[in-house]
Every structure is written in C-alpha cells, then in structure tokens.
Structure 1
Amino acid sequence: MAAKSMSIYLLKSGVSIESAIKDDSGYKEVDVSASTISNLRVFLKPGSPKQPWWKTYLGLGVDLLQQSNSATAFVGIKKQTFALTFGSGQHLLREDSYVHDFGTRVVLNSVDPNKLKSADTLDPESSQRRRTQIPYDGDLALLSFTSDSSVLRSLTGKAKAEHNDLVRSVTGAACLRVTTPTEPGDLVVLLKRLHKLYKSKGFRKTFPDIAQIRPITDPSTIDPLNQQLAAAVFDVSAPIVLTVPDVLDYGDESYVQFSGRGVSEMFDDVYIKHYREYLEGKGITSETFAVDDLKHDELVLLNGSHEAMQRWSIFRSLVFEAQADEGYSYHFSDGAWFRVATGLLESLRDFLDPYWIEATLPEHQWASEAEYNAEVCLANGSVCLDQTNISPSGQTQVEPCDILRIGQEHVEFVHVKIGTSSSMLSHLFNQAANSVQLLRTSDEASKNLLKLVEERADAAAAEHVAKALETNSYTVSIAIVSHKRTPERKSANLPIFSRISLRRALVALKAMDVTTTVQLVPDATNRAGKQKPRKLRVRPAT
C-alpha cells in the first residue's frame, strides 16, 4: 500500500471553517458528494498554466506548460475540526485560527526518541537558526540540541512501532506532516488517534527538558503580549530594557539617536528613559502609543564622527519580561516572544546567584569601555590587556581579559562589558571561558600573554603570572557595568538568555577548576543628550 504525505492542522476550539479562511484567498469550495470521508469540505485553488522560466532561458522549442494546484480539506470530528493542506493550501488559513503547537506535541508523543532524523532549532540569544540532519537513526544529542539554550521549532523521525499502522514518519511544527498508508475510509480513525496524541502529556517523560523554552507563534497570544510591551515603555517601574541588538566594539567611540518622528539628540548609551522622553517630546502618550510605533521608530548607531552606521527598529531592540500563568513566564528578546518554564528560571537563579559578589571595581564614569579599563588599571596598578590578542599565529583573535590584577598571592583575569544586551554579554561570557581554555592548551598563547605583561608592566609581574599559569592558581571575574540599581537581584538583572549563556560559561570554567565570580558594577556616566552638529544629518526613518 503506497504511503501518502499530508500536512494536518488542528483548528482552535470554537473556530468555524468560515472564520478560519482568509478573505480574498482565491479558494473556492468544491463538491465532495463522491467522497467516502464524512463531514468533509474542500476548498480548491487551481494553478495557472505557466511555462517554466528555464524553458526560455535554455531556448527550448517544446511546449512545457505546468501548473500547481492547491487545496485545503476540512474534516469535522465531534467538536474538533482538522484542516488537511495540499500544495500551498496552508495559505488559505488565518494564522490565529489553528493550534500552533499541535504538530510539535503529536511528534513528541509519537516519535521513537532513538529514531530521529532532523531537527530545526533556534538559539534565541543570537537569533541563529539551524537545521541538523543525520543519515541514520539517532537521538536529540546527535542533532545538537541543548535543552537549556535551544528552542525546538521542528522535529522529524520515525513513529513508534505501535503507530506504524497509521503513520510511518512524522514532522511537527505548527502543523503535523505525516507519511501514512491510511486510506480515505480510515482517515477519521487517523485524525482521532492524532488528537489523542496531541492531548497526551507522555512526552514530558520521554523528552523532559524539551519544553523549557518555547517560541510563541500564536497571534492570539502574541497580540496581548505586544500590548503589554508597548504599555511598558511608559511605565517607569516595568522590567523593560532598551539595548543595541548586536555585538559592538566598545573600543570605538559611538553614540545613539532615535528616529522615526524626527531625529533626537545624541546619547552616549542606550536607555529606555531617553526613548520615552523622545516620545513625550513629540506629544506621544501611553494612550496614543501602539506596537506599530515600536516597529516604525528606530535606534540609530552613530560613529565618533556622528555619522549613521547602523539602525534597528525599537521593537527588535527591547528586552522585556511579562507576567504569565503559573508554571512559566513570557520573555521578549530580539523581536520575538518565548515562553520559559519557571523551573528553568529557578534553576538558573540557584546556580548563578552563588557566584555573585559585591562590586570590587570602581563605578564607571568615563566616556567608553576602553577608557574605563585604562583608568582603572592606572588607578590600582593593574595591567590593561583590553583589545590585546594571545591567540597562536593564524588563529582567531582571543583577548586574555580586560584587566589583569596581580597581587602577592593572587592573579585575577577580569573581563568587563558595559550594558546588559544579550549579544554583548554572550561575547563577554564566551571570552572568559575561551581565554582560560586557550591558556590551558596552548604554550604559544601563554608565551604571548607573558610577553604582553612584561611589555605593559615589568619582568617581575610576568614572572608572577608565569607561576600562576604553571600551577593553575588564578581566578576569573566577570564584571558587568550597568545603570541598573538593583544589585540585590543578582542574576535576575540579566536577560533570560544571558543567564543561560552565563551558566554555560561558568560550567566550562568550573570544569577547568577555575574559581570565578560575577559582579554588577555601577555605571555613573551622564546620559544627557548631546547637541548634534548641524552639518551632519541622519536620515529619519520613512
């Protein structure tokens, strides 16, 4: 019996077929009186016959008319309605009409965990998307899935033996893609079984960590969350942060502005208060402000000459945590919403907070990160290694640290970063772990470090560091410079995905038996806007 592939959606409870269909979709309902499938309605969109582009490109004289038809079939079973799509039939459905985790849950409950073939994952911290495929049966570990930092978007594998009579292989995301030998007369049986698998919670035992972070794609959930996000801009007590959503080189002088309704003053750093004041200066209030404004307005990055280098929507530049139901919370980062299990938040807090110490570095009051590092080293006799490189010849640059503290009984590698943007902090945490690993595994890297210390301090300091490297008797400190005035919140001051990244780095350092601390350094810089020179212009967003 030949197997057939189809995509299956589950309509939300109470959604009628008429309300699930997009307006002006081009689909027409067709007669199904000859079908053996009960409670069936089919909407068809015939394709237009076209010549393939490559016919003319290759100069072929033969007639090669082809067309692609699309259809969506609705099947009602008691209170549930399923939509089976063929061709491009999914474009008939409104995004808010169907259950967005139907496919994922059915796959998790039906797939053999040792016969997986492919996984689509998302790293929310870097917005990196990847598809991992293997040519043989395997488990999630072989598909490079890490439960505390990867979001599973789609999973493909062979079904468990007990489901082989109805499905052979399954792929799950918002819809369920199945390969099935099921004939029309047994379709209702298949759909009933699939709905039962969707309702099952058995996957929590098979894949206990897979649902710790889930992307939110359902518009009916996203829309009210976006409303909370927009309202938080005008709420001074809301846990909302404005960041540059990219990795920046703080050794270079830079400024930021807002555009979209005229160009704002320039600022030394990104701060939600400045954006709020920018809006208020344009007569915008919380009552007139909406999500579309966040997507329209832009954060503009300027170089030291006040020229625009890059721009991002305010929407993408916000980090926000929203109130949620018991068991999980909602987190907004890089323009997307994620549901995070409370258990993950608690485990992060329990792991990270013991590493937190009171700040041992002075407050930041200089123009840039580079100047801060240089002035701190000058004041306390430390060695400034900011923007240096210890990597072996021909390898990617690795900075040993920003500040090297050398005492009689102590050598400390201090890594400094201004701001709490997820992307910047990820770079900081990775640098802290990677530099130690390089020093442990490369004699050339150690020699490069000692040469830098001798050049920037003296031979005695280099000898002291050499002894520390030889006996592995040094420590690491991660210093995050921030305007946040809540040091008592410890790790909770960081975005959720930064906490995950920090835990990963601390685990790596712990495995190397390196004592590590984390501190939140007060940022005392003046964030007042600077008047922009008239001769330089930044194009407002259109």
Structure 2
Amino acid sequence: MSLSVRLLRSGRTIDDSLRDGHELEERPSEAGRLFVGQAPAVPPTWFDFVSGFATGGLRRLVNQSCAAVLFLEVIPDDKRFAKRTVVLTFGTGHHSLDPDALERSFGLKVVLNAVARSNLRSLDIATLDATTFQKRIQASRDADLQGFGIDVDRDLLRLAAGSPKDNSFARSLAGKDALTLHTKTSPADVIEKCKTALKLHQATDYKVDFGFIDFISPVRQQDLLEQLDSLAFVELQELVKGHASDLHITLPDILSPEESAEVGYFGIGLKSGRKQVYTQIAIEDYVEELRAGQIAEIADMAELRGSHEIRVITDGEGDKKQRRKLYDCFVYELTYKSDTYVLFAGDWFVVDKAFHAAVENDFAKLVAKKPFVASTKTESEREFITELDAHKNLLNLDQVKLSPASAPGANLEPCDFLSTTKQFIHLKDGHSSAPISHLWNQGVVSAESFVRDEKFRIDLRKEVKKRQTRSKKAGFDAILPDGRSKPVPSEFTVVFGIMRDRYKKSGVISIPFFSKVSLRSVADRIQLMGFPVEVHLVEKL
C-alpha cells in the first residue's frame, strides 16, 4: 500500500496540529491517537449542468470522502535524538492538519538519504526569480541525477522520487514535506517503518551527491524568523503605498493544467462582501484587495499568516477544502546583517556564504564600469527605447522578429539595439513584473542563432538595412557579416542593459541575487561561443 507520512515540528502537540473546525472524531487506538471523519454526501458541482442534457433528468449523483489521521510517538534507536511525533494520513485527512505544525522538507530529506543518485525517477524544482518557474522532470525509468538537467546553482529542489537502496523499507519513495512510501506493511510493523524514516531524515548521506541543496538552507531560529517576517511585512506595506518592490506571490506547488481555476483572496483587512474572482494569482491583484480593504486591521505578518488565504472559487464562494495560506505563496529576497535570505513556500532560507560570495564575484566581473547610458529619467522600458532611438550610434531593432532556418515561426528578437561598436544590446526594466531571466534567455538564443544560422544572419542584415533607412542612419549593416560569412564572435559583445533604482539601504545599483545566479550559466554559455558579455546597469532617476 501507499503510506503518507509527515513529521510534527518539535514543540508542536497533537492537539494544536489540527486545523480549527477540522470535524474529525477521535477514536480509541491501541497505538498513538487516531482521528477519523466521514464527509456528507454532496452533489458534484457539475451535476445541474450535466442533468440539463439528460432527458427526464438524472438520478442523484454524489461525491463523498473520508479521512483518517494517525499520530504515532516514535522513539529513535539512536539515543542522541529525542522522540518525535509522526503523522500518517489517509484519504482527505491531510486537509485537517495545520501546515505550520509540520516539518518542512521532511519527505525530501528522507528520499535524498535513501535513494542513490542513479535511481531517481522524478524531480520537482523551482527557479526563483521575479516570476517563479516550477518544473516537474520525470524519467521513464530510474535515471541518474545528471540526466535531469537541473542547474545546481539556481534550481531549488522541492520534491524527489525514486527507488531506495533498501527495498525492505519501500519499493519506491516520493518526498516533499510529506513522504510517500509504496511498501508492504501492517499495523504491526508500521512503527519500524516510521523509525527508519526518522533515521533517514536525521542522516547526512545526501551531502555526497545532493549537497547543493545546502546552498540554500532553511532558517530555524524563531527570533530571526520573526525579524525577517517583520521586514517582509514592511515591504508589503510599501507595495500598498504604491512603491516598487521585488516581493511577489506564486503558488508553491505544481498544478496540473487541468486544475486551472478561479481564485479569490480571503482574510481580515481584505475587501469584504462578494469576492473579486481572478484567473491567476498575482501580487498586483492582492495589493489592490488590501487597498480596497483595511490593511490597518492587520497588525503584523503573524496575523496575516494566520488569516489570509487563497481559495478556489466554487459556485461563487471560496472552497475551504481548496485553499492555501497566502503566506506560503510569498517570494521575497532580502539582505539582513550581511546574509541573504529568501522567503519561498512558507519558509525562510539563508544562502550559503561561500556560494553567495562566488556569485557576487562572478557578477562583478560582468558589470561594465561605463554603461552605454549611465542613467535615465524615463519610467518604463518603452520610454527608454524611445529615448535611446535618438542616439546616432544606436540602431533600434526592438520588435524585429527573425526565425532561424531550423526553427520557422520562432520569432526571435536579435536584440533591442545594435551599436556602432558591435554591441548587441538587450534591454529590461529591472523593476517590471517580468523576470530578468527572460533577458538572459534572449541573449543566449540570439547569440546562438547569429553564430550558427545563415538564414538568421541574412534576415538580420536585411532588417538592419530597413531600420537604418527608416531612421536616417547609416553604416550599421556594414558591421555585420553577409549571410554566408561566419561571424567572429569575439568582435561582438552581448550587452544586458538593465534599468534599476538604487537600493534604499545600500545606495548601490544592482539586481536581485537569484537573477545573478541565473546569469552565471547564461554568461558561461555565451562566452563559450566566443562572445564577451557585459552587464550595463542604468540608474532610474
């Protein structure tokens, strides 16, 4: 059978780990404490719609669910460790648990300690940026970590699944916060299964092949967590006032495309009455809900964390069974007392100092001392492009769409501006909602197409001639090779021009740490092709 196993956080009790109004009933148990529940039979939401097509109507159709939660005290064989409470859930029982009462990444740590790198079957990763990208990578059979193509510098590992080294423990394992075991078991040996899981959670074998997960490690000190939450709450208040911020929200779990649904925001201080319905979650919509409500009623992040939720809207109302804490959807990065912290999926993470220093050092090597433009008073990327269009040494190629011979219909942008000094300049307003990583990807794809594809070079030269004629400029086509001649990459420079405000505390112009992380591999790829790479930071005045 499949067992779903969770671990209570130290200091949490069984009674305070269940959600308020959970509706489960405790039953006598020979081991641990057992809670069960039977949901009432209700018609499916689509019943009225479907019955409208049935001649004479339909007989009553109902959905009915049941739930069980079993709490077991587990005493480790290793006396250095204290006893812990393990939670087994069945049916919809996990919906009755308070997520804050559970150990984060318990299942993931067990899997990484139990499964060899060559026996992985599935990985979920999140790439943190202004928009968080999440991916599930599945192999058709057990495969090595290298085959999953993850970037150990920038990808946060969220879930892992595979075949454990010890087949007596389980046939297969999958783990995130919860651990799922596919195993032969019975009430008589389930405690031993839980002991093994707890032992694996405490092990450090994962460091050999999966040590990269410690580049970003969870914060556990309560006083530090409270301080970080306070700083994030101030940032949210700044957003409500209309100021720019890198704080945003994203669902922490990968959803099936078939599960797309309308959602609403619920909690104290938010706009009351009938809820506005949204087709996706976005920080802009949440902030508007706060502005329309009474943000003053929210004392601090702890109160917001306990109250604010995103719920799926069903039949015009929020579905309490399909809800997530809004706090778990926050993504925010900050520097506090010389350390870099990231809030993601309801947890704060601290970035390893050596990793942080290496990333910052690599970024500093790419930053140009003299950007092509030092500053701008324009407020958007579109206005900035118009301003740069007046420069005689820059040719505007914005909105030019080209397709290599191998990818018809690709509609790639070669760059935003071509300079007389052979710079391919890619621009981005670094404070927009779109991630800076889009800019990096544009630079890579453009550089590869320019080097490898004859059709791309021929079409680029044609477009350059058209644009320079239209703008009454000359000489830009001459710096490009004809289509059949291969370019010498070292003669050209790929430039990433990023508009940014100075940081309020440090007064420097820079970009978010995880954007620097994602740039590392991109810069390496472009430089391996022979192009120099530069980052030009343009101050927004």
Regarding TM over 0.5, the answer is yes
* Equivalent residues of 2:118, 2:144 under 8 A apart: yes
Q: Within 2, Cα distance between the matches of 1:225 and 1:488?
A: 18
Gap change, CA 1:510 and 1:487, over 3 Å in 2: farther
- Alignment map for 1:56-75 (pairs within 5 Å): 67-75=64-72
Q: Which residue of 1 aligns with 2:284?
A: none
* Equivalent residues of 2:340, 2:350 under 8 A apart: yes
More displaced 10-residue stretch of structure 1: 357-366 or 147-156: 357-366
- Alignment map for 1:369-518 (pairs within 5 Å): 369-392=381-404, 394-406=408-420, 410-421=421-432, 423-457=434-468, 460-466=475-481, 470-472=487-489, 473-484=491-502, 493-518=510-535
- Alignment map for 1:120-519 (pairs within 5 Å): 120-125=124-129, 126-160=131-165, 163-213=166-216, 225-232=228-235, 242-243=245-246, 319-323=332-336, 329-332=340-343, 338-362=349-373, 363-366=375-378, 368-392=380-404, 394-406=408-420, 410-421=421-432, 423-457=434-468, 460-466=475-481, 470-472=487-489, 473-484=491-502, 493-519=510-536
Tell me the percent identity: 25
Q: Within 2, Cα distance between the matches of 1:107 and 1:217?
A: 21
Q: Within 2, Cα distance between the matches of 1:107 and 1:334?
A: 19
More displaced 10-residue stretch of structure 1: 382-391 or 81-90: 382-391
User: What's the offset of the Cα at 1:368?
Assistant: 4.4
* Equivalent residues of 1:390, 1:398 under 8 A apart: yes
Gap change, CA 1:422 and 1:139, over 3 Å in 2: farther
Deviations 1:453-474 (A, max 9, x none): 3233367431232279633321
* Equivalent residues of 1:390, 1:397 under 8 A apart: yes
Residues 1:80 and 2:84 aligned together:
yes
Query: Given the two structures, how large is their TM-score scaled by the length of structure 2?
Result: 0.72
User: What's the offset of the Cα at 1:62?
Assistant: 9.5
1:483 counterpart letter in structure 2:
D
Q: Which residue of 2 aligns with 1:90?
A: 94
Q: Which residue of 2 aligns with 1:40?
A: 32
Q: Within 1, Cα distance between the matches of 2:506 and 2:180?
A: 48
2:116 counterpart letter in structure 1:
D
1:89 counterpart letter in structure 2:
G
Q: Within 1, Cα distance between the matches of 2:155 and 2:493?
A: 30
Deviations 1:234-288 (A, max 9, x none): 799xxx9515969xxxxxxxxxxxxx89xxxxxxxxxxxxx9xx99xx9999996
SS across alignment from 2:213: coil
Deviations 1:430-482 (A, max 9, x none): 22221111111222221122123323336743123227963332112222122
Q: Within 2, Cα distance between the matches of 1:51 and 1:244?
A: 40
Gap change, CA 1:291 and 1:19, over 3 Å in 2: closer
User: What's the offset of the Cα at 1:483?
Assistant: 2.3
User: What's the offset of the Cα at 1:344?
Assistant: 2.8
Q: Within 1, Cα distance between the matches of 2:301 and 2:449?
A: 48
SS across alignment from 1:185: coil
Gap change, CA 1:218 and 1:86, over 3 Å in 2: farther
* Equivalent residues of 1:11, 1:98 under 8 A apart: yes
Tell me the C-alpha RMSD between the 2 structures.
Answer: 4.4
Q: Within 2, Cα distance between the matches of 1:478 and 1:459?
A: 24
Unpaired runs of 5+ in structure 1? Answer: 34-38, 247-259, 262-274, 297-312, 525-542
* Equivalent residues of 1:148, 1:213 under 8 A apart: no
2:497 counterpart letter in structure 1:
A
SS across alignment from 1:229: helix
Question: May I ask how many residue pairs the two structures share in their alignment?
Answer: 460
Q: Within 2, Cα distance between the matches of 1:441 and 1:28?
A: 67
Q: Which residue of 2 aligns with 1:31?
A: 28
User: What's the offset of the Cα at 1:105?
Assistant: 0.7
* Equivalent residues of 2:402, 2:410 under 8 A apart: no
Relative contact order: is structure 1 or structure 2 higher (C-alpha 8 Å, sep ≥ 6)?
1
Q: Within 2, Cα distance between the matches of 1:498 and 1:466?
A: 33
Q: Which residue of 1 aligns with 2:316?
A: none
1:145 counterpart letter in structure 2:
I
* Equivalent residues of 1:417, 1:424 under 8 A apart: no
Deviations 1:155-198 (A, max 9, x none): 111111xx222222111111111122233322222222221111
* Equivalent residues of 2:327, 2:346 under 8 A apart: no
User: What's the offset of the Cα at 1:16?
Assistant: 2.0
More displaced 10-residue stretch of structure 1: 492-501 or 225-234: 225-234
Residues 1:523 and 2:540 aligned together:
yes
Q: Within 2, Cα distance between the matches of 1:487 and 1:513?
A: 38
* Equivalent residues of 1:151, 1:215 under 8 A apart: no
Deviations 1:359-403 (A, max 9, x none): 332321346434433443533432222222333484232222222
Q: Within 2, Cα distance between the matches of 1:218 and 1:178?
A: 30
Unpaired runs of 5+ in structure 2? Answer: 76-82, 250-269, 272-286, 309-325
Q: Within 1, Cα distance between the matches of 2:73 and 2:184?
A: 21
SS across alignment from 2:524: helix
Query: Given the two structures, how large is their TM-score scaled by the length of structure 1?
Result: 0.72
User: What's the offset of the Cα at 1:507?
Assistant: 1.4
Deviations 1:24-71 (A, max 9, x none): 2111111224xxxxx422111134457888897889999998854321
Larger radius of gyration: 1
User: What's the offset of the Cα at 1:134?
Assistant: 1.8
